[in-house]
Chain A
Amino acid sequence: MPQALEGSQAIARAVALCRPQVVAAYPITPQTHIVEHIAKLVADGELHCEVVSVESEFSAASVVLGSACAGSRAYTATASQGLLLMSEVLYNISGLRVPLVLTCANRALSAPLSIWNDQQDSMAVRDAGWVQLYCADNQEAVDTTIQAFRIAERCELPVMVCVDGFALTHTLEPLELPSAETVAHFLPPYRFSRTLDPLAPLTMGTLVAPEYFTEARHLHHAALLAAEKEIVAAASDWGAASGREHAPLVRVEDVPKARIGILTLGSVFGTLLDARDQLPDPPVRLLHLRCFRPFPVEALRAACAGLSDLVVLERAIAPGADGIIGAEVRSALMDMDAPPRIHNFAAGLGGRDVPLAIYPRLIEAIGRPHARMSPIDIKPELLPENAPSPIKVPS
C-alpha cells in the first residue's frame, strides 16, 4: 500500500530493511535527513544498529570500511564536499573489494559554494571503482538501495546509489515500501569472504609491487564489468519479489517512430517524461542511464538503435572538456553501424530548476549549431561580456 514519504525517510527505511549493523556518517546537506531517520529508527528500537557519528566523511568511509571488513553489513551516506573528502577512502574500499552501500545525495561542488543539487560530486569519483546507480524517483531509490546491498555483497564491490539532493531527498512522494520478510528473503544475512578473523587471519591492504599491480587493477576492472550481470539479476529478482521491476541498466521510454533520443541521469528524467506528455511531437525516445558504472555499452547501443540524434543532458561539467557522460556515450556509440549525432548539454547546475520548458529547447537545439558541450539553461545576461556597462573590478 503506497504511503507518502519524504525521499530521505524512504531511503532510511529501505536501508533499515536491509539490516545494516553499522552506519557511519557526517552531517552534510542534503544527506542529513537520511541519517537522521536511521538514527531515529535505532533510537526507537526499530533497527539494531551502531550509528557512528564520526567527525568527518573521511572517517565515515573509514568506519564503514572497518565494519565491513570485520564482517558487518555497513552503510553510509554523504554528498558533495563530503564525498570528495571520502574520495581517498572510496578508491581504497573498492580496491580492497569490500562490499558497502553509500547513498550520495547529489549536490554541487564548491567553489563557489552551492548546497543545491547537481551531479558533479558523484561524477568526480566516477573512476573510484564503485558501482554507480542513479535513481529517477524515490520509489526507484528505495528499490535500488535494497538491490545495492545484494549487488555489493555478490560482487564484493561497493555500490553508490545516487539520488538528486532536494529534488528527491526532500520531496514527498507516494511510494511503496516492501515488507521486512520480502527484503530478508531477497537479502539474506551476509558474511564477507575475507572477514577479519583471528581464527583465519588474513592481511588486507598490502603493498603490491609493479610486477603484480597491473593484475590487481585488471581484476578490479573485470569485477566491475562482470557486475553488470548481477545488477540485471538483482533488478529482475527484486521485480519478482516486490512486483516492481526497474530497468537495471538503461531505462528506455520509447514512442513509435522516435528518431530523436534524450538521455539523462536522475530526477530530470521525470521532468522530461512529463514534458513529452505535453509535447508528443516530434516523437522522442527518453533514456535513463541508471547504471553509470559499470558503463553498459551494449545496453546503451541497443537503446539507441534507430536514433538519428541523441541529446545527452547532464548535471555536471568537466571544465575544459566534453561532457562527462556525453564523451562516454559518444565513445560507446561511435562504432555502431549508424550512430546518432550526439548533442551534449548541461542543465540544472547548482540547483538551478530544470523546468518542463527545457524539453522543447533541447529539441530545438538539435537543429541549430551548438558547442560540443554547454549549459543549455545559461542566462546570457549574467555573463560579463553581455553586461550593459563594463564590470567594475575592485582593485
Chain B
Amino acid sequence: MPVMTPGGFAYPGTSLAFKTGGWRTQRPVHRLRAAPCHVGCPAGENVRDYLARTADGDLQSAWEALVAANPLPAITGRVCDHPCESACNRGHYDAAVAIHNVERFLGDEAIRSGWAYPLPPVKTDAPAVAVVGAGPAGLSCAYHLRRLGLNATLIDRLPAAGGTLRTALPGYRLPRSVLEDEIARLLTTGIRFLPHTALGREVSLAELQRDHAAVFLGPGRPRPRPWDVDGRTPRDLHPALVLLQDWVALGTVPEIRSAVIVGGGNSAVDMARVLVRTGATVHLVTHEALPAAGIPHETAMKAALRDIRQAVEEGVILHVEHGVHRLILRGEKVVGVELVRMKKLARADGHYETVPFEGTETVLEVDQVIPAVGQEVDTLGLEALLPTGGLLPVDGFGNLPGHPALFAGGDARLDARGTVSGAVGDGYRAALAIHAQVTGTTQELQGEPAPIPVGDLTLNYFEPVPRTEEALLPPEKRTGAAEIATGLSAVEVAAEAKRCFSCGECMACDNCWTYCPDLAVLKTREPAADGSHYLFNYDYCKGCGLCAHECPVGYIAMEAESS
C-alpha cells in the first residue's frame, strides 16, 4: 500500500508499476513477409538480404548470402532477365532497384577478391550423388549438394563445364573470362567433375544409379528443333543454334548478305545480333509480341526486353507478330520469304493458337532463312525415360514420378523456364529434395508465399531516388564479343542497395521506436531473436497499432488478443 506523501508528490518513473498492456485488444507482432524480389527470383535468391548487407558495406557477407541460393552470380548478374526487378515494389514508386547490377558486382568482387564459397569440408564418406550435365542446372545442383554435405559427381559430354552458357552465349552478353572464372571457382569446391563423359556413351544411367544414392539429370536442350514451312526447307539451312555455337567457339560464321531469323527467344535475338556484327542485313521475325506490361507471357517474346532493345539499336530489323508464310525458293536456295501478320490468340480452353491474317502478306528479299524456333533434349542415354522431342516431367522438387532417386531440372524438364536462373533454381530445389531423401528427412513442398504487396508498405517514409542505369557500350562500338553492359561502380552499387525498400523485413529504421507513444518498443543492441532490432514490451503496449501502420516495410502486423 502506498503511504500518502506531503502534497501528494510522486517519485519518478513509478508509472512502470502500472501495466497498461492489460488494455490491449490487439498486439503488434513482427511478421517477416516474403519480398516480391525473392518470390520472383527463379534461382531463389534472397535479394532483400544481400541488398541489406551490401547497403551496410559488408560485401563478402552479401555475396555469401547471395550464393546461398545461386553460385553463379557473376554470370546471372549479366544474363538473367531479372524477374526480381519486374516484381520489385519500388517499381510502383519510382523505379525498381537495379538488382542485377548488385548481383553482378558481388559476383565480380568474389572473383576479384577470391572469396571462398561458404561450404562445409568435404566428407569422403558422405553419400554421393551423380549429376548429369554441367550446365547451370547441374552446376547449381552439384554445388548445393556440396553445401548440404553430400558428395557430387558432375559429368558432361563436353570437355568443359558450362553447358549452353559456354556453347551458345555470345561474349558481348557474357564475357568468356567471367564464365571461365566463376565456373572454375565453383569446380574447386570439392565437386568431382568428369568431362568427356556422355550419358549413354561413357556411362549409362543404370550405372550411375547403381553407384550413387541419387541421380540428377540436367542435360539441357542441345539440339535445334526441326523447322520447315509447309514441309519445305532450304537446302543450305543453318539452324541458329549451330551458327551461334560456331561463332562463340570460333568467332566466325558463314558469309551472309541478308537473313531472316525466325523466332523470338534468346537464340533468335543473339543470332540476329551476331549476324549484324558481321555486316549482314538481319530481319527478326516472330509471331510473338514485344514483352510489355499487360502482354501475357504466352504471347510475348521469350528473349529479354533489354536484349531485344539492344538488338534493334544494333540494326536488327524487328518484325513482331509476323510469321514466315512461304519460302520463296530458286531451286532449293532461298531468295526471299513471304511474311504475314500473325497473332497468338487465346482459345476458349485457355490455350493459345497462332493465327495468320490473310491479306497482310509482304515479301522480304533475303538469301538466308535461319530458324531459331527452340531446342530439344538429346535423348542419348535417356531413352528409357522419354521419347524423341520429349521433356522430363518432374514435381516441384525435380523428382521424376515413379523414380524415387531420379531428379531432373533445367531446360530438359517439362515447363522449364528456359533461363539460366530458372535452371539454377531447379538445381537448388532438387539438391534440397535429394538431401532430404538421402538423409531420410522429409522435404515438404511449400507453395510460394504471397509476396508483400506495395500497398502494405508505408511509402511516405521513402524518398524517390533515381535508379542508376549502367552505361551501355554505344551501338557503333559494339563489335565482336565486346561486353555491352558495363556494370556499376562500388559507390553506385551501394546506392542502389540502399534504394531497397526491404519489403516485409525490419531494416532497423527506428520508426516503431520513434512513434510508440507508450515506449513499448525497445531497441536492442544486437539483433533480436527474430532478426529485427526491436522488442515489444507487452507490459505497456496498449495495442494502438501506430507502429504497424507506420512501419515503412510492412514488418509489423496486429493480431487480435486471444482473450
Contacts and interface: CB of A to CB of B under 8 A. Distances in A.
A and B directly contacting (CB within 8 A): yes
Interface string B1-33: 010101111111000000000000000000000
A202 B6 contact: no
A206 interface: yes
B9 A203 contact: yes
Contact of A97 (B6, B10, B11, B12): B6
Interface in A239-283: none
Number of chain B interface residues as a range:
under 10
A206 B5 CA distance: 11
A219 B4 contact: yes
Interface stretch (A21-29, A45-53, A208-216, A350-358): A208-216
A65 B407 CA distance: 85
A96 B8 CA distance: 7
A201 interface: yes
B6 to A, nearest CB: 5
Contacts of B4: 212, 215-216, 219
Interface string A183-197: 000000000011000
A95 interface: yes
Contacts of B11: 202-203
Contacts of B10: 202-203, 206
A97 B9 CA distance: 10
A211 to B, nearest CB: 10
Interface residues of A, number: 19
Interface of B is mostly: loop
Interface in A200-247: 201-206, 208, 212, 215-216, 219, 223
Q: Which of A156, A204, A223 has the largest number of chain B CB atoms within 10 A?
A: A204
B8 A208 contact: yes
A156 B7 CA distance: 10
Contacts of A203: 9-12
Contacts of A212: 2, 4, 8
A99 to B, nearest CB: 11
Interface string B315-329: 000000000000000
A223 B4 CA distance: 13
B7 A204 contact: yes
A95 B9 CA distance: 11
A96 B7 CA distance: 4
A94 B10 CA distance: 17
A194 B7 CA distance: 10
A98 interface: yes
Contacts of B9: 194, 202-204, 206
A202 B8 CA distance: 11
Interface in B222-248: none
Contacts of A202: 9-12
A380 to B, nearest CB: 50
Contacts of B6: 97, 156, 193-194, 219, 223
Contacts of B7: 95-98, 156, 194, 204-205, 216
A246 to B, nearest CB: 29
Nearest to A204: B9
A219 B9 CA distance: 13
Q: Which of A193, A203, A206, A219 has the most CB of B within 10 A?
A: A203
Contacts of A95: 7-8
Nearest to B3: A215
Contacts of B2: 212
A201 B8 contact: no
Nearest to B6: A97
B157 to A, nearest CB: 81
Contacts of B8: 95-96, 205-206, 208, 212, 216
A302 to B, nearest CB: 31
Nearest to A203: B10
Query: A95, A193, A215: which has the most chain B beta carbons within 10 Å?
Result: A215
A219 B8 CA distance: 10
Contacts of A206: 8-10
Which of B6, B8, B10 has the most CB atoms of chain A within a 10 A radius of its CB?
B8
Nearest to A194: B9
Interface in A72-119: 95-98
Nearest to B13: A201
Nearest to A201: B12
Contacts of B12: 201-203
A208 B7 CA distance: 10
A11 B4 CA distance: 37
B3 to A, nearest CB: 9
A337 to B, nearest CB: 38
A89 B496 CA distance: 62
A202 to B, nearest CB: 5
A289 B237 CA distance: 130
A331 to B, nearest CB: 28
A98 B11 CA distance: 17
A308 to B, nearest CB: 44
A62 B8 CA distance: 18
A45 B138 CA distance: 96
A85 B8 CA distance: 24
Nearest to B12: A201
Contacts of A216: 4, 7-8
A85 B282 CA distance: 98
B114 to A, nearest CB: 57
A216 B9 CA distance: 10
A194 B9 CA distance: 9
B364 to A, nearest CB: 88
A212 B2 CA distance: 9
Contacts of A219: 4, 6
Contacts of A97: 6-7
Contacts of A204: 7, 9
A219 B5 CA distance: 9
Interface string B519-547: 00000000000000000000000000000
A208 B10 CA distance: 10
A96 B10 CA distance: 12
Nearest to B14: A203
Interface string A124-165: 000000000000000000000000000000001000000000
B20 to A, nearest CB: 16
Interface in B207-231: none
B23 to A, nearest CB: 18
A93 to B, nearest CB: 10
A191 to B, nearest CB: 15
A212 B8 CA distance: 9
A206 B8 CA distance: 6
A97 B7 CA distance: 5
A95 B11 CA distance: 18
A109 B229 CA distance: 116
Contacts of A201: 12
Nearest to A93: B7
A91 to B, nearest CB: 12
A332 to B, nearest CB: 28
A194 B11 CA distance: 11
A202 B4 CA distance: 14
A37 B495 CA distance: 71
Nearest to B2: A212
A205 B7 CA distance: 7
B12 to A, nearest CB: 5
A263 B12 CA distance: 49
Given A194-B7, A206-B8, 18 more contacts: A95-B7, A95-B8, A96-B7, A156-B6, A156-B7, A193-B6, A194-B9, A202-B10, A202-B12, A203-B9, A205-B8, A206-B10, A208-B8, A212-B4, A212-B8, A216-B7, A219-B6, A223-B6
23 contacts: A95-B7, A95-B8, A96-B7, A97-B6, A98-B7, A156-B6, A193-B6, A194-B6, A194-B7, A194-B9, A202-B10, A202-B12, A203-B9, A203-B10, A203-B11, A203-B12, A204-B9, A205-B7, A206-B8, A208-B8, A219-B4, A219-B6, A223-B6
The 3 closest A-B pairs by CB, nearest first: A97-B7, A215-B4, A96-B7
Interface of A: 95-98, 156, 193-194, 201-206, 208, 212, 215-216, 219, 223
